[in-house]
Amino acid sequence: MTLILGLSALYHDSAAALLRDGEIVAAAQEERFTRRKHDPRFPEHSIAYVLQEAGVAFDQVDHVVFYDKPLLKFERLLETYLARAPRGFSSFRLAMPVWLREKLFLKDFLLKEFRKLHKGFSPDQLQFSEHHYSHAASAFYPSPFEEAVVLTLDGVGEWATSSVAIGRGNTLTIEKEMHFPHSLGLLYSAFTYYTGFKVNSGEYKVMGLAPYGTPKYHDLILDKLVDLKDDGSFHLDQRYFNYATGLTMTNDKFADLFGQPVRKPESEDLTQFHMDIAASVQSVTEEVVLRLTRALAAEYGIANLCLAGGVALNCVANGKVHRDGAFENIWIQPASGDAGGALGAAQAMWHHEMDMPRTVQKRDAMKGSYLGPAFDQTQIEMALESCGAVYEVRDYDSMIAAAADCLAEEGAVGWFQGRMEFGPRALGGRSILGDPRSDKTQKLLNLKVKYRESFRPFAPSVLAESVSDWFQHEGDSPYMLLVADVVEEKRVAMTEAQQALFGIDKLNVKRSEVPAITHVDYSARLQTVHKDTNPAYHDVISAFAKRTDCPMVVNTSFNVRGEPIVCTPEDAFHCFMGTEMDMLVVGNCVLRKADQPDALKTDYKNRYELD
């Protein structure tokens, strides 16, 4: 038996993943255990969990692989600062102590931590993968393809910001790269900052805001900021950006170009201008990605594409690549961000360094991305007792029926079943569910359950066998990483007055038979639900469909804004009691809000730092 532990840490989204003879046993982000969103610290809790899941001790681990090479990253920082000196000194002064204290001597730091777990841990057991290789490995090795082009797009690793690899069997080779500071991820983050959202967590808000605007600045961005070539390669004009050596993403020249200052975070002035800015950077991103994928398909003649890196979480762009058809098949790593690098680092060790064979699985090797902790019925009941919860224990069919009945009555249901998801998406293990037919659901979930901006869209979890009846989509989308349009026959025609609306005024217009998941451009971020990977989730949606003739539910992550997705039954109960959910279903336990003691109700709205 060979055990390989993969780690990502000390930048953002620390995580651990464990392979046993090449099979993925477990993977989880540190934030889920510490309750600190995007926790960058050494992932001690994640390590403890994956070892426990495998039933092994740390001294049985053969190899530990870190997901990037800090010395190369330090080289990039030094070269960047020196090339632009004396500009950027204030940023340099802040960055260097952190590097000298923690990151530059990371190997010594890691060895010290590992020897707390096993005194005999040898330096030879610790390896370092390159950042983009870790991403590429996480995308190719679990994919259902024997051969694929692998495209990684993110902010920046050591030097690479975009990379292309070719995977065949158990081999994976980086073919070409684009380097810092020319980065599609950093371009998107610059506009995230400019529109007043938090970099590294608010990018998906820009994507959600984009359909409310028109891409009127698309040409201006390509004329002034991005020199885009036919093959998708590009250069960013650094005169408009500040991220290379400064403390902000953009500068005054950037603001002057668009005619407005940076929006202050959390201010109420989300105007049509900001929506148009969001639409414009989204449009440019889609154009870059489409040029890249079309050029790669033509160059390599391979039918399959794998995607990873933070930009691969842009499900709107992914949907356009899928529909474009340059590649016949597309597979996206569900943990595409840095957390997934932990998994890729371990897989790179097994297949690339150790030259171990790879077995391609029909759907993929991610097990639905249900790779986190699960809790048995006894553990659940003990946890709820310790919280003072009032609950009923139902048999399985009765539990499914109770949840489906509540949903059919337009209730919000906290759904906690099986193993926790790995990656940023809730996929029916730790989800809040709602009725997609209700035109009240989006507002209710955003304002009274999630405590977040009203414009934020919700995703449908739809039975895989019914997806094409409701959406212009063929095939699977198990990880909620593709956007598709609602089919014409399920849409509601808009009046001339409704069509003339602008911005957030569009939000309350009913656009389809499932308004809660239909975005203002008739799109939806799909999750196809499969009986073999999540039978309980499939069963509750099927039960809802029997009651309503609607084979889908609204699915949003089980948390409030700024909180990591819940991990334990205690986390779930506390979130339930701090929001206006109507029912909580944990294992076979059913809890109704009306039955809970008033003394246990809490204010969750201001508990977490806003994302």
Q: What number of other Cβ atoms are within 10 A of residue 6's Cβ?
A: 33
Interval 464-488: pLDDT, tens: 999 999 999 988 999 999 999 999 9
* DSSP letter assigned to residue 357: -
What's the rounded mean pLDDT across residues 206-230?
96
Instruction: Give the list of residues 6+ apart from residue 181 with CB closer than 8 angstroms, or none.
Output: 80, 156, 161, 236, 238, 241, 243, 244
The band of 539, judged by pLDDT with boundaries at 50, 70 and 90, is: very high
Angle between helices 272-300 and 315-324 (to 10 degrees): 40
pLDDT at 275: 94
Q: DSSP 3-state assignment of 55? A: coil
Judge whether 453 and 263 are in contact, CB under 8 Å. Answer: no
Q: What is residue 262's DSSP assignment?
A: P
Mean pLDDT of 38-50: 97
Cβ(255)–Cβ(245) under 8 Å?
no
Domain boundaries, the chain: 377-600
Q: What integer is the mean pLDDT of 220-242?
A: 97
Is the domain covering 377-600 a CATH 3.30.70.580 domain?
A: no
Q: Are 421 and 29 in contact (CB under 8 A)?
A: no
| pLDDT value at residue 269 | 79
| Element spanning 26, H or E | strand 23-29
CA–CA gap between residue 292 and residue 343 (Å, rounded): 25
Rounded average pLDDT over 428-448: 87
Model confidence at 10, in pLDDT bands (50, 70, 90)? confident
CA of residue 331 relative to chain centroid, distance: 15
Over residues 371-400, mean pLDDT: 98
Query: How would you write 285-343 as a 3-class SS string?
Result: HHHHHHHHHHHHHHHHCCCEEEEECHHHHCHHHHHHHHHHCCCCEEEECCCCCHHHHHH
Whole-model pTM: value is 0.94
Q: Which residues pair with 413 in a beta bridge?
A: 433, 583
Contact 5, 61 (CB under 8 A): yes
Residue 451 tokens, joined: 């405590």
Give me the pLDDT at residue 86, please.
63
